[in-house]
Amino acid sequence: AVGRLPEALLHQLKGRGNAVSCALHAAEAGVQGARDGIAATFELMEQRFWEPAHGLYADEATPDWQVGPYRGQNANMHACEAMLAAHAASGEARYLDRALTLATSIAQRQAALADGLVWEHYKTDWTPDWDYNRDDKTNIFRPWGFQTGHLTEWAKLLLMLERRLGDAAPDWLVPTARRFFDTAMQRGWDATHGGLVYGFAPDASWSPPPAGTQSSPQGGHVGLGSGPAPDMEVCDADKYFWVQAESLAAAAWLAVRTGDNAYWQWYDRIWAYAWQHFVDHEHGAWYRILAPDNRKVTDEKSPAGKTDYHTMGACQDVLAALGIQPPAKDAS
């Protein structure tokens, strides 16, 4: 069974999405065969993980390709990012079509099951798993609650998707990006110590909808229950480097797209906070995690798995939002 295997032995969708992004940059650098790698990885994702009835990918499989029961939005978010990168590298419409399908499935249909926001964890039929890791704060890659950084990351991706689609872009992309970002700032910004917290969730008075009352994505929905929307509270107040990086990039994209100066104000606020608390001005890079009061939890930077992907990527994303191309590589 998937749940009994070490993670290193599993085939993971997120890893395939990252492989597509790596192949894109290799193609941009002129590495021979990189474009073939994009196509081959996409075809594997389609064959082994794609669930056409839901318009989403499964997360993981055993070495002999038995798909496990867990379904999550995170891997699909990175798959959407990878599809945008694949389209940028190849111009093939199938990648852009898949990016739109993924975005629609998560940011519209699945979000409708969670009061218009992005819940992280789902059951095999893509109904929300409200209790997954609810009592386990140690699993930072599959945490309970709404993730501040994933809301802003989705906001950025929706705007990238809109720009790439051009006149064919659906009209829900920008309002949804704004709602995700605005909610993340409202719920996630620490007004006392600054910075964006890791996660927030319905308060302790909330109970998940009873089993059997949560409709499947193909039907109606009851959101976070049939009663009034629950109050939200911070469920993980630690500050993570990647949350700040993705959020400042999203703020720049929103500022450029909407012309609303409030997003530049958020951009400046988040950058100032990160510059003061996260950036190591002596040795470089960003510290990985800070306590709620901004004390350094460890001296770790550029952790394995993420390295400087989010921080360097955020800088590139801001330039892209502004339409600034990096200088051409010297062929000599």
Q: What was the pLDDT predicted at 145? A: 93
The pLDDT value recorded for residue 47 is 92
Mean pLDDT of 72-93: 93
pLDDT in tens, 168-203: 999 999 999 999 999 999 999 999 999 999 999 988
d(CA 125, CA 34): 35
Instruction: Count CA atoms within 13 Å of residue 46 on its CB side.
Output: 11
Please indicate whether the domains covering 1-132 and 155-203+232-325 agree at the CATH topology level.
Answer: yes
CATH number of 1-132: 1.50.10.10
| Average pLDDT rounded to a whole number, residues 146-174 | 98
pLDDT at 225 over 60: no
Q: Contact at 8 Å (CB) between 184 and 148?
A: yes
Q: Which of 11, 54, 87, 310 is catalytic?
A: 310
Q: How confident is the model at residue 33 (pLDDT cuts 50, 70, 90)?
A: confident
Q: Is 282 exposed, middle or buried (0-12, 13-18, 19+ CB in 10 A)?
A: exposed
HSE-CB at 38 with a 13 A cutoff on CA atoms is: 25
Q: CA nearest 253: which of 240, 269, 264, 242?
A: 264
Q: Can you give the pLDDT at residue 6?
A: 46
Task: Count Cβ atoms within 10 A of the Cβ of residue 172 and give its class: 0-12 exposed, 13-18 middle, 19 or more buried.
Answer: middle
Of 54, 150, 221, 277, catalytic: 150
Radius of gyration of the chain (CA): 20
State the average pLDDT for the chain: 87
Domain map of the chain by residue range? 1-132, 155-203+232-325
**Which range, 39-53, 93-107, 109-123, is most confident?**
93-107
The pLDDT of residue 216: 38
Whether 150 is a known active-site residue: answer yes
How do residues 247-274 score in pLDDT, each as one tens digit?
999 999 999 999 999 999 999 999 999 9
CATH domain 155-203+232-325 topology:
Glycosyltransferase (1.50.10)
Would you say 247 and 223 are in contact if contact means Cβ atoms under 8 Å apart?
no
**pLDDT above 70: residue 317:** yes
Residue 16 has a pLDDT of 64
Give dist(CA 217, CA 226) in Å, integer: 16
Q: Which residue has the higher pLDDT, 308 or 227?
A: 308
pLDDT, tens digit, 9 for 90 and up, residues 46-73: 999 999 999 999 998 888 888 999 999 9
**Percent of the chain residues past pLDDT 70, beyond the cut:** 85
Instruction: Report pLDDT digits (tens) over 200-224.
Output: 998 877 777 665 555 433 333 445 5
Asked whether the whole model's pTM tops 0.75, one would answer: yes
| Structure confidence at residue 55 (pLDDT) | 97
- Strands 71-72, 121-122: parallel, antiparallel or unpaired by DSSP? antiparallel
